[in-house]
């Protein structure tokens, strides 16, 4: 390449040389890991929201009992 000092050309050279080292098995494993992590994060988020709803319900029940005693 006569003009390989341009940033775009250098980046193309780097990504082309890196793609030669990455096998399809590594890409599949990476995709699977991302899916598993996203499922875990989503599940934790849903459980956290359910926990907040349960605490809110318990709080309203306790507040109602306290207001009846007064």
Cα atoms in the 13 Å half-sphere on the side-chain side of 7: 0
Contacts from 22-29 at CB under 8 Å and sequence distance 24+?
Answer: none
Per-residue pLDDT tens digits for 9-63: 666 665 565 555 656 777 788 889 999 999 999 999 999 999 999 999 999 999 9
pTM summary value:
0.54
Using the structure block, give the residue that is written with the tokens 């349960």: 54
Q: State the Cα–Cα distance between residues 18 and 69, nearest whole angstrom.
A: 71
Q: Are 4 and 12 in contact (CB under 8 A)?
A: no
> Comparing C-alpha atoms, which of 70, 23, 56, 11 is closest to residue 1?
11
Model pLDDT, residue 14: 59
pLDDT for the residue numbered 8: 64
């Amino acid at each position: 390449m006569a003009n390989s000092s341009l940033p775009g050309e250098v980046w193309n050279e780097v990504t082309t040389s890196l793609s030669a080292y990455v096998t399809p098995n590594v890409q599949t494993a990476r995709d699977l890991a991302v899916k598993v992590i996203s499922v875990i994060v989503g599940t934790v988020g849903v459980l956290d929201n359910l926990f907040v709803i349960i605490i809110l319900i318990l709080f309203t029940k306790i507040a109602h009992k306290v207001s009846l005693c007064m």
